[in-house]
Amino acid sequence: MTSRSWYVIQCKAKESFRAAENLQNQGYEVFHPYIQVEKLRQGKIRLVEEPLFPYYLFIHLSDVADNWRPLRSTRGVLKLVSFGNKPVKISDQLIAQLRERTQPQPKDYLKAGEQVLIEEGPFKGLNAIFQSRKGEERVVLLLQLLQKQQRLEMPVTSIRPL
């Protein structure tokens, strides 16, 4: 049985998703960590996948059994990252930790009753309770003011979970 290790592939600009797909189509085991972020696109909040390491992905290869030649000619791939003539190996433990930490979050990651911090506007720095979303761009919060909970709406981009 041959030993397999993880290596780092440098991708061409904005082509890491293409490189990962093309390498997988060739039968290579690839790990391309990404995170889901909310971005304002065409006036609406959208969940977008962004690479955790822009321009880089990881590939699991055998020193002996795997053919490394096709890597260089794969669309989206720039090169195998090396120091001198030796490709950089990444530990299995680091890959496992990255896999664990980059699991996609559900779209509605805030649940009713969760504490949030207001980061913008006149209530900046105050804690509130998330109540619900109102469309894609706004949220409804409960804020303790004047000895009672006041209901207020604000842009989803102006809060973060605690």
What are the mean pLDDT values of the chain's consecutive 10-residue runs (162 residues total)? Answer: 87 94 94 84 75 94 81 93 93 93 63 90 94 84 92 89 86
130 within some domain = yes
pLDDT of res. 106: 47
Asked if residue 120 and residue 95 are part of one domain, the reply reads: no
Asked if residue 87 and residue 157 are part of one domain, the reply reads: no
Q: 135 is in which domain, residue-wise?
A: 115-161
156 within some domain = yes
Asked if residue 139 and residue 73 are part of one domain, the reply reads: no
CA distance 108 to 120: 21
- Torsion from C-alpha of 11, 8, 101, 117, nearest 10 degrees: -50
89 within some domain = yes
Q: Quick one: which H or E segment has residue 22? A: helix 16-25
Could you tell me how many residues make up the chain?
Answer: 162
Contacts 24+ apart (CB under 8 A), 24-27: 26/70, 26/74
Q: Quick one: which H or E segment has residue 97? A: helix 92-101
pLDDT of res. 88: 93
109 within some domain = no
138 within some domain = yes
CA distance 63 to 161: 45
Domain count, the chain: 2
pLDDT of res. 80: 93
Asked whether the whole model's pTM tops 0.75, one would answer: no
Q: Quick one: which H or E segment has residue 78? A: strand 77-80
